Amino acid sequence: MDLDALVGWSERNRERLNAAEIAVTLSETSPRDKPSRTLSLSSPRLEADVMVWITGECDVVIGHVASGDTDVVHHEFASDDELFAALEAICDRFGADAQAS
């Protein structure tokens, strides 16, 4: 997994996400044996951390601000396209949550 792909996705989508009132932050690459980066998304109703490792492993934690409930999902991606599809699904969830209010 190319961690720079996460950087590119974040840069390409930052304006769209900010327009939807979703703040985007991206961590620096961790200096470990198994490097990773974390993309964080934040809105008034949801918070998400998407932790991606160079091995293709990915943990997604989505928290509901009002209730404090969290959803955790683990993925094993074989390609950047699989990661991008998961990121879009997370963005859709932010949009669906905002529409539900």
pLDDT at 97: 56
Domains of the chain, residue spans = 3-96
Quote the DSSP letter at residue 33. Answer: S
Q: Give me the tens of pLDDT residue by residue for the chain, a chain 101 residues long.
A: 889 999 999 999 999 999 999 999 999 998 889 999 999 999 999 999 999 999 999 999 999 999 999 999 999 999 999 999 999 999 999 985 544 43
Contact criterion met (CB below 8 Å) for 41 and 48: yes
Order of strands across the sheet that contains 57-64: 23-26, 36-42, 46-53, 57-64, 70-76
